[in-house]
Amino acid sequence: MTPEQRLREAGERVVDVIRAKNGSTRGAISSNTPWPSVGIYWAAAAIACATCCTLVFRERIGVDRTEHPIEPRDFVPSLFESELVDERPQHVRAGDADVILVRSDGRLYAYGEHCPHLGAPLSDGWLLDGGIVCPWHGARFELTTGSTVKGPATSPLTRFETCVRDGRIEVRLLAPEHETVPRTTARQR
């Protein structure tokens, strides 16, 4: 659904509320509605639309803030393995990308630093029941996949691949599944 369609739907909801208040089935403003009331209805609709536009388009509330970095494509050194505390997210820079590293049960995980809901720093979050919890609104993401377990976030975290070389954790962007090149097989005749 496009932003214009969402805005139109929000306006239709305002009109539906006005219809319910007015008791009119023909429209929000019936021929019996006194003119001062008409102005109030239009003012209410204008305020609702302006508020919606401000929240969505200017403040980006309710907008998917998933990071879509294109770097690093190659492994980039980020942190010495000995500096990473177990079971606690830690912010690092990997090239130009902000990343959190987490070691849990001996495995390393790397995700984009910011929550896709409102951009909270996930390095301030904590681990709970096999997931990482956003510090601002409590969204929880599966630690092994980055998928959303509990809202208000609806998008998964940006995933990075990790490896350890010479005691240093290296990170690179993990290509989304829809961008991976499928294996080709010989045609069967």
If one counts the domains in the chain, the total is: 2
Last residue of a domain, one of 32, 58, 84: 58
Using alpha carbons, select from 138, 132, 155, 156 the residue that is nearest to residue 146: 156
Same domain, 90 and 141: yes
pLDDT at residue number 117:
87
Residues 84 and 172 both lie in one domain: yes
Same-domain check for residues 47 and 80? no
Same domain flag for 36 and 111: no
In a domain, 19, yes or no: yes
Rounded CA-CA distance 180/178 in Å is 6
Instruction: Identify any residues that bridge with 94 across adjacent strands, giving them in sequence order.
Output: 97
Q: Are residues 29 and 87 in the same domain?
A: no
Q: For position 108, which CATH number holds?
A: 2.102.10.10
Rg of the chain, C-alpha, whole Å: 24
In a domain, 186, yes or no: no
Confirm whether 128 is domain-assigned. Answer: yes
Tens digit of pLDDT at every position of the chain (189 positions)? 665 566 667 667 766 666 665 555 454 455 555 555 556 666 666 676 666 666 555 555 555 566 666 677 889 999 999 999 999 999 999 888 899 999 999 999 999 999 998 889 999 999 999 999 999 999 999 999 999 999 888 889 999 999 999 999 999 988 655 444 333 333 333
The predicted model scores a pTM of 0.60
Distance separating alpha carbons of residues 1 and 6, to the nearest angstrom: 7
Tell whether 166 and 87 lie within a shared domain: yes
Confirm if 125 and 132 have CB atoms less than 8 A apart.
yes
In a domain, residue 69? The reply is no
Task: Compute the residue count for the chain.
Answer: 189
Same domain? For 20 and 54 the reply is yes
Clarify whether residues 123 and 153 are in a common domain: yes
Q: What is the pLDDT of residue 153?
A: 87
Q: Could you tell me if 112 and 165 are in contact, meaning their C-beta atoms sit under 8 angstroms apart?
A: no
In a domain, 120, yes or no: yes
Helix, strand, coil shares of the chain, percent, nearest 5, are: 30, 30, 45
Predicted local distance difference test score (pLDDT) of residue 107: 95
Q: Residue 177 burial by CB count (10 A; 0-12/13-18/19+): exposed, middle or buried? A: exposed
In this prediction, residue 8 carries a pLDDT of 65
68 within some domain: no
64: in domain = no
Same domain, 104 and 134: yes
Is 125 found in the same domain as 81? yes
Q: Domain containing 29: what range?
A: 3-58
67 found inside a domain: no
Question: Helix, strand or coil for residue 162?
Answer: strand
Confidence (pLDDT) at 173:
86
Q: What is the pLDDT of residue 4?
A: 59
Residues 120 and 114 sit within 8 Å (Cβ to Cβ):
yes
